[in-house]
Amino acid sequence: MHTNIKSLRTILLLLTIGGIFLMLYALFTFREAKIIIEWETASEVDTVGFDILRGETPEGEFVKINEQLIPASVDPFSDNFYTYTDDNAQSQTTYYYQLLDVEADGTTTTHGPIEITATNQKWLELVLAGTMLLAAFIGKKQIQKQEETQVHDTSQ
């Protein structure tokens, strides 16, 4: 019986440590969110690339967020798929994005805006951490009860 309690204590210690680290990680990164922007083109004749613009209102000031022009495909006559990840989004914030199509002669065509609200999945990590800590707490109480029962049984 003593070996079982020792094993349970080790498991509970690991659950507690894991839960604490997971909770700290989730809280530390809670404000981070990523928005993945995807678009498709049917053809890109004379297109040299794309810029992504972001604003905080549909009519507001839009700012270029990609560091370099996103190059167009080498095959301008086929369907092409693109993705861009906005790593600087804040969780629970609504953004408006525009796609700027840049032509070889310097002209641009603006598409959008589209509205996207940034979310993040850190709540799941917080729930998991809380569950691990709760399991460790309940397990500790069970061990205390078993130890009290053993002490009571040996005194008879």
Cα 36 off chain centre by: 11
Strands 108-117, 63-64: pairing is unpaired
Same domain, 3 and 42: no
Tokens of 32: 């981070």
Do 45 and 9 lie in one domain? The reply is: no
Are 26 and 129 contacting, i.e. CB atoms less than 8 angstroms apart?
yes
Residues 46 and 76 in one domain: yes
Helix (H, G, I), strand (E, B) or coil at 36: strand
Beta strands in the chain (DSSP E): 32-41, 47-55, 63-64, 70-71, 80-90, 94-103, 108-117
Distance (Å, rounded) from C-alpha 64 to C-alpha 54?
6
Least confident of 42-46, 47-51, 100-104: 42-46
Same domain, 110 and 40: yes
Please indicate, yes or no, whether residues 135 and 75 belong to a single structural domain of this protein: no
- Residues 22-42 as b or e (16 or more Cβ within 10 Å = b): bbeebeeeeeebebebebebe
> Are 38 and 81 in a shared domain?
yes
pLDDT at 54 > cutoff 70: yes
Please tell me whether residues 47 and 113 are part of one structural domain: yes
Q: How many distinct structural domains can be found in the chain?
A: 2
43 and 74 fall within a common domain = yes
Q: What is the mean pLDDT of residues 70-94?
A: 87
Give the domain extent around 3: 1-30+121-156
- Average confidence (pLDDT) over 15-24: 59
Tokens of 91: 């969780």
Q: Is residue 135 located within the same domain as residue 146?
A: yes
Same domain for 51 and 72? yes
> What local confidence, expressed as pLDDT, does residue 93 receive?
87
Residue type, 82: Y
